[in-house]
Copies of this chain bind each other. A is one copy, B any other.
Amino acid sequence: MAVAQKISVFMEKSSWIRKMFEEGTKLKKIHGAEKVFDFSLGNPNVPPPEIVKSLLLGLVQELAPGMHGYMHNAGLPEARSAVAGQLSIEKGVALQPDHVVMTCGAAGGLNIILKTLLNPGEEVLVPAPYFVEYGFYADNHGGVLKAVPTHPDFTLNIAAMAAGISLRTKVLLINSPNNPTGQIYSSAALSELSRLLTEKSREFGQTIYLVSDEPYSKIVYDGHQVPSIFSHYPNSLIATSYSKDLSIPGERLGFVAVHPEAEDVAALLGGLTLANRILGFVNAPALFQRVVAGLQGACVDVAHYRRKRDLLVKSLRDAGYDLINPPGAFYLFPKSPLADDIRFVQLLQEENILVVPGSGFGGPGHFRIAYCVEDPTIEGSLPGFRRAMERALNIRESELTP
């Protein structure tokens, strides 16, 4: 066999999200794109803020010498400085540019964090449901992902976390607003979590790091805000990206920020910078680092996403679906009317509706709708969602009847 055994296994089970994405491509070829209602991929459909284009134009017209050249592996000084300034305002803790490492998106950021922290066999604890790629990221660096349940509304279950932490736990990884649920972890929950981690770190004589993956932190509604982990727990790192704030996921720009009072902060930052280099990222893409140095705090108009969320939540509830109204991100995570979520996702697929089974996120019995799509996709899908619900109820009834 040409490829490594592990890669061969990974390819087989690969990601449901990508599977649905590819299924969608097929269905669109058969039925035409306008007849397929594709909610499978979190690819922002709102255009970037105007300032992205104007900064890009200015930079490209100017073309300073060395603009596209190598730099310090941690990033351009002006980008790190701009990020540190903005975070100092947003996160309630004063950061220096040195506390920031520019990365190839949040995915790049999480990989350099896990490369830096994990010894072989150490565990990454994550509340489920969770972004499915986390399992691969932990495995890439010799770690093991361990999921712990959340409450039925997907808020943090501190008792479950306490039960999940062991001597092997090196990282607790949260994602708020959450993909796939859209839930935000409250300040009260973070306080409890911080107490738990402090206590367990002391008990085991080794620090458990809290890592917050927060690419959706600016995609929030109804006055909600994402509480800062930095104001709760010093041994913490943030990984995030501009993919959703600025609708530029293909450009691969994000950063890691380390709490200035984290234990061994210099070694952590040195490790992150080294990992950025040796994993092959080398540095985050130069041009977009220059862009974000000039537009801290900018964000797409989230009113677009809120309108889509409101329409879908109401319509799905009217059709009999059971779901929370999520305060952030652009995902819904309704209960599947059939216990077997994969079976229900297939019913939806027969209606040309593409969603991802909750099983793919460690959240079986649910399915994920990515509503960052055009309005006609949402409107066109509603009859199909209603029919699939009716069919599911009929199936349930027929299976209950002996």
In the complex, what's the smallest C-beta–C-beta distance from A296 to chain B, in angstroms?
A: 18
Chain B residues with CB under 8 A of A288: 285, 287
Chain B residues with CB under 8 A of A5: 119
Binds B, one of A42-50, A182-190, A352-360: A42-50
Is A249 in contact with chain B by the CB < 8 A criterion?
yes
Task: Please tell me the size bucket of the interface on A.
Answer: 35 or more
Is A216 in contact with chain B by the CB < 8 A criterion?
no
Assess A2 versus B207: contact at CB under 8 Å? Given A56-B60, A285-B252.
Answer: yes
Q: Determine the distance from Cα of A47 to Cα of B281 in the docked complex, in whole angstroms.
A: 23
- What is the total number of copies of this protein in its complex? 2
A12-44 Cβ-contact flags toward B at 8 Å (1 or 0): 001100100000000000000000000001011
- From A53, which residue of chain B is reached at the shortest CB distance? B63
In the complex, what's the smallest C-beta–C-beta distance from A395 to chain B, in angstroms?
A: 34
A137 and B107 form a contact (CB under 8 A)? no
B69 and A247 form a contact (CB under 8 A)? yes
Q: Determine the distance from Cα of A251 to Cα of B67 in the docked complex, in whole angstroms.
A: 9
8 further contact pairs, Cβ within 8 A, besides A11-B267, A18-B277, A57-B57 = A7-B116, A68-B247, A68-B250, A69-B248, A70-B250, A104-B104, A107-B282, A111-B279
Is A163 in contact with chain B by the CB < 8 A criterion?
no
In the complex, what's the smallest C-beta–C-beta distance from A263 to chain B, in angstroms?
A: 5
B274 and A7 form a contact (CB under 8 A)? yes
In the complex, what's the smallest C-beta–C-beta distance from A15 to chain B, in angstroms?
A: 8
A249 and B69 form a contact (CB under 8 A)? yes
Is A164 in contact with chain B by the CB < 8 A criterion?
no
B116 and A4 form a contact (CB under 8 A)? yes
Is A264 in contact with chain B by the CB < 8 A criterion?
yes
- From A58, which residue of chain B is reached at the shortest CB distance? B60
In the complex, what's the smallest C-beta–C-beta distance from A269 to chain B, in angstroms?
A: 10
Is A278 in contact with chain B by the CB < 8 A criterion?
yes
Assess A117 versus B268: contact at CB under 8 Å? Given A61-B57, A70-B250, A282-B252.
Answer: no
Near B by CB (< 8 A), chain A positions 104-119 give 104-105, 107-112, 115-119
